Chains A and B, each alone.
Chain A
Amino acid sequence: MTTTILFTVVSLSVLGLLLALVLYLVAQKFKVEEDPRIDDVEAILPGANCGGCGYAGCRAFAEGCVKADSLDALYCPVGGNDTMKNVASYLGMEVAEKAPQVAVVRCNGNCDSRPKTNHYDGYSSCAVMASLYAGDTACSFGCLGQGDCVVVCNFDAIKMDPRTGLPEVDQDKCTACGACVKACPKFIIELRNKGPKNRRIFVSCINKDKGGVARKACAVACIGCFKCQKVCPFDAITMSNNLAYIDYNKCKLCRKCVTECPTHAIWEVNFPVRVPKKEEEPVVEQ
C-alpha cells in the first residue's frame, strides 16, 4: 500500500519536473521580446478601448506611442492633454497641447420647426432608414432621429431628447472619440473645439438646398442668405452649397452672426443670456 503511494508520488513528481523543464526551455527558446514600456503606457491610458485615437484599442495605441519618434500625430481624445502629457513625460518626449473637442449635432429641426411629412414604421436604425429614403420630414439632410449615435456611444454622452426628437450631447461626458460622427449616415455630427469656458458658436444645420426649399421644409434651416458671412469681422464664415460653415479656429465668439441669422440656425452655447443693460446679473444658460 505505502509503496504504491510512494511510487505514484515519486513518478508524478519526476514527470512534473521533466515537463516543467521542457516548458522552461521552450519558453526561453521562443521568447517574444516586448518593450516593457508598452505595459506602463497602457496603464497611463484610460482603458476605454473606444478606438477614438484611430488604433484598435488602448494597447495598440500604447504600442504606437512607444514605437513613434514623436507624439505629434498621436492623441487620445478620451484622456485629453493630461494623459498625453503623462505619456510624453514617461517616454521623455514633447507633446503639443491640443484644444479639447466635443461632438456637436448640426441639426436643430425639432418636431415643431420641421414637421413630419410621413410616418416611418420600419426597423429603428438611422442607417437602414437612410438607405431606404430621404427621411420622414421634407428636409432630406436633417436628423432621422432613430438614435444610431446613441447606440454607438461608449460613454453614455449622447441621448435622444424626446421633446425635440434630436440627439443631445452631454459636453461633460463626451470625449470626442468620434464614434457618433462615423455612425451618423447623414453626417450631421461634427467634432468642434470646446472653446474657452465651453463657449462655442456653430451653424446648427447642414441643409444644402436652396433657401426657399430649405425654409419650406424647416423653419430653422440655414437658407444661405450670406448675412452672417457679411457681418463676420474675422472671416470665419464660409458659404458653400447654400450653407454657412463657421471655422472654429477663426471664430472669436463675438456673436454678431447669431443675432444676424434670420432663421436662428446659428447657435451659441454656454454664453450668458443677453439681457438689456442695467438689469440683474447675467444668468448662465443651461
Chain B
Amino acid sequence: MSRTFSIGGIHPHDHKISVNASIEDFPLMDMAYISVSQHLGAPAEPVVAKGDTVKVGQLIAKASGFISANIHSSVSGTVTAVEPMPDISGNLIPHIVIKVEGDVWDESIDRSPKIVKEIKASSKEIIDIIAKSGIVGLGGAAFPTHIKLSPPPGKKAEYLLINGAECEPYLTSDYRVMLEYPEQMLIGTKIMMMALGVEKAYIGIEENKPKALKLLKKIASKSYKEIKVVSLKKRYPQGGEKQLIDAIIHRQVPSMGLPIDVGVVVQNVGTALAVYEAVQKNKPLFDGIVTVTGGCMTEQRNFRLRVGTNFERIMYAIGGFPKDAVKLISGGPMMGKAISRMDAATVKSTSALLLLTDEETRRGEEGNCIRCAKCVEACPMGLEPYLLNRLARAGRIDDLETNLIQDCIECGCCFYSCPSNIPLLDTIRLAKGQVLRIIRSRPKK
C-alpha cells in the first residue's frame, strides 16, 4: 500500500520526458562564474584574489557566520576577477570568475569509480567533513546540511527521511541519481544516520518511478536493512518536508516548527549522494545532476554539471536556444524561479533547467473569486488561500498572522487549482515576507 500526506495536494501531469536520458558529464566550460551566495544564510567570504591559480575542489570562499557554507572551485585555472555579477534574478552578487585551464583536480580527491562501503569516520568527524565540503540541501532551499545534522540541544532525532519523491513535474535528476548511484546514495544515507545517531531511515519514492523503487528495495533489503524504501502515491507537494513526514511516519510538524520538533530530519537524494562523495571520496560539493528538459526540445538531457556554468553555455551544449521556448526556469515548474538573465550561472542547488513554450507558460486572465474553495481543498498546510489573498491585498497584517500565513510553504497548489486564475501565491508570498519580518523583529521571550 502506497502512503501519502493527509490534506490537500494536487495532481499535475508529471511530464517526466527526460526519464530515460542517462547522466552525462557536461563538457568543460571556458569560464566559471561561481557565486559566493549559493546557500541560505550569510554569503561566503572569498579567500582567493585575482591572479590566483586554483585546482578543482580547492576552497575558494569560506563560510562566514553560523548559517553559511564553504564554496569550492569547480574548475581549475586562474581567477580573473572577484566582482559583483547578476544572479538569475538579476540581483548583483559577488562572483568568483575563473578562466578554465585544463582539468587538474586536487590530489586528495579519490576519483576512482570504486564504491567505498566501509565508513571509517566517527559521527563528529562526519559532520566536520560535511561542513568542510560545503554541502547544502539539494532539494531546493540550499540549507547548509551540517547544521541540519546537528540538532539543537534538548532535541533528538529518531528518524532520517530521504526525499526521493521528486513530486515536481519534469524533474528527473533525483530519479537518475537513484538509478545510477543507488549504492552510493544508500551509503550516504547510512553516513547521515551515523552522524545523527538514528536507528532507522526511510526513503520515500513516488509510484511513478517503479524502476528506482524496485532497485533500491532490492539493494536495501540485501545489505542496508535499517533503511526502508517506502512507496508513495503520486501527489504534489509530497517532497515538502512537512508533507513527507506526514506521508511516511504520520507525524504533524507544529505551526512555525521544524521537522526536528517531531524527531525527524529530512534530506534529499542528491544530498545523500553529495554526502557519500564528501565523506568516502573526499570530494567537496562543486557539481550536481541537472535535468535540461522541455517539450520544445528535440533531445532531453540529464547532465552532471559543475557549479558556475552559465546558462548561455548550457544552451550552446544542447544545440542552441529552441525556437519555441520563451521562458526558462531554474528548478521545477511549480516552485522554480524564472531566469531573467542568460549570463547568470548555475549554483549548487540548481536541479533543472526547464524550457517552456508560450502556450505552456501563459497566464490566464484574472477573474473574480467564485468562492468554490478549490484552493482551500488544495492547500497542503490546511490554510485558506482565498482569505489570505484578500487580507494580503487589504494589508491586514495582524489578521494574516492569526490565519497562519507564516505556515505557507509557497508550493503554489492554490494558484494551480484556482479556476479564476487569481494570483494567490504572488500576493500571499509577499504578505508572508512582511509578516515574518514583523514576527522576527519582536523581542524574544
The interface of chain A, by Cβ under 8 A from chain B, is 117-118, 121-123, 125, 127-128, 131-136, 138, 140, 209
A136–B339 Cα gap in the complex (Å)? 11
Pairwise interchain contact A135-B90, C-beta atoms closer than 8 A: yes
* A interface footprint on B86-97 (CB within 8 Å = 1, 0 otherwise): 101111100000
Least CB distance from B236 to A in Å reads: 21
CA gap between A123 and B422 in the complex, in Å: 9
Chain A residues lying within 8 Å of B90, measured Cβ to Cβ, are 133-135, 138, 140
CB-CB < 8 A to B363: which residues of A?
A: 121-122
A134 touches B91 (CB 8 A): yes
CB-defined contacts of B92 to chain A, threshold 8 Å: 140, 209
Interchain nearest-CB distance for A269 vs B (Å): 31
Assess whether A123 is in contact with B340, with CB atoms less than 8 Å apart. no
Task: From the candidates A117, A123, A132, A138, name the one contacting B89 in the complex (CB within 8 A).
Answer: A132
The reply to whether the CB of B141 lies closer than 8 angstroms to some CB of chain A is no
Q: How far is the CB of A69 from chain B (nearest CB, A)?
A: 32
Which B residues are in CB contact (< 8 Å) with A133? 88-91, 337-338, 340
Closest approach, in angstroms, between the C-beta of B421 and any C-beta of chain A? Answer: 10
- Do B423 and A134 have beta carbons less than 8 Å apart? no
* B408 CB, nearest partner CB in chain A, Å: 14
Looking at B190-198, B370-378, B425-433, the stretch in contact with chain A turns out to be B425-433
Specify the chain B residue showing the minimal Cβ separation from A137: B90
On chain B, which size bracket covers the interface? Answer: 10 to 19
CB distance from A268 to the nearest CB of B (A): 31
5 A-B residue pairs with Cβ-Cβ distance under 8 Å, sorted by A, are: A123-B423, A131-B429, A131-B430, A131-B433, A133-B337
For the complex, what is the distance from the CA of A121 to the CA of B366, rounded to whole Å?
A: 12
B341 proximal to A (CB < 8 A): yes
CA distance A277 to B264 in the complex (A): 82
Residue of B nearest to A135 (CB): B90
Is A117's CB under 8 angstroms from B429's CB?
no
Per-residue contact bits, chain B 328-350, to A (CB 8 Å; 1 contact, 0 not): 00000000011011000000000
- When chains A and B are docked, how far (Å) is the Cα of A12 from the Cα of B426? 60
By a beta-carbon cutoff of 8 Å, the part of chain B in contact with chain A is 86, 88-92, 337-338, 340-341, 361-363, 423, 426-427, 429-430, 433
Q: Is the CB of B340 within 8 A of A128?
A: no
The residue of chain B having its C-beta at the shortest distance from the C-beta of A122 within the complex is B426
Known interface pairs A135-B90, A140-B90; A125-B341 also in contact (CB < 8 Å) = no
Q: Which residues of A contact B433 (CB under 8 A)?
A: 131
- Whole-angstrom distance between the Cβ of B228 and the nearest chain A Cβ: 39
Structural contact, B426 and A134, CB atoms closer than 8 A: no
* Number of A-B residue pairs at CB separation under 8 A: 48
B169 to chain A, nearest CB (A): 19
Besides the known contacts A140-B86, A209-B92, 20 further A-B residue pairs in the complex with CB atoms under 8 A apart: A117-B340, A118-B340, A121-B361, A122-B363, A122-B426, A125-B426, A127-B430, A128-B429, A131-B429, A132-B89, A132-B337, A133-B88, A133-B89, A134-B86, A134-B89, A134-B91, A136-B340, A140-B90, A140-B91, A140-B92
The minimal Cβ–Cβ distance linking B400 to chain A, given in whole angstroms, is 15
Q: Smallest CB-CB separation from B88: which chain A residue?
A: A133
A56 to chain B, nearest CB (A): 14
Residue of A nearest to B363 (CB): A121
Give the complex CA separation of A200 and B138 in angstroms.
Answer: 53
CA distance A118 to B91 in the complex (A): 14
Q: Which residues of A contact B337 (CB under 8 A)?
A: 132-133
CA A134 – CA B433 in complex, angstroms?
17
Q: How far is the CB of A35 from chain B (nearest CB, A)?
A: 31
List chain A residues, Cβ under 8 A from B426.
122-123, 125, 128
Q: Which residues of B contact A131 (CB under 8 A)?
A: 429-430, 433
Residues of A within 8 A of B86 (CB): 134, 140
Q: Which of B89, B338, B427 contacts A128 (CB 8 A)?
A: B427
CB-CB under 8 A from B423, the residues of chain A are: 122-123, 128
Contact check, B91 vs A128: say whether CB atoms are below 8 A apart: no
Chain A contacts of B361 at CB under 8 A?
121
Of B86, B89, B340, B423, chain A has the most CB atoms within 10 Å of the CB of B340
A132 to chain B, nearest CB (A): 7
Chain B residues in 8 Å Cβ range of A123: 423, 426-427
Contact in complex: A128, B341 (CB < 8 Å) = no
Query: How many Å from the CB of A68 to the closest CB on chain B?
Result: 28
Distance from B289 Cβ to chain A, minimum over Cβ atoms (Å):
25
Assembled-state Cα–Cα distance A132/B336 (Å): 11
In the assembled complex, the Cα of A138 lies from the Cα of B433 at a distance in Å of: 25
State the CA gap A136–B340 with chains docked (Å). 8
**Nearest neighbor of B415 in chain A, beta-carbon distance:** A123
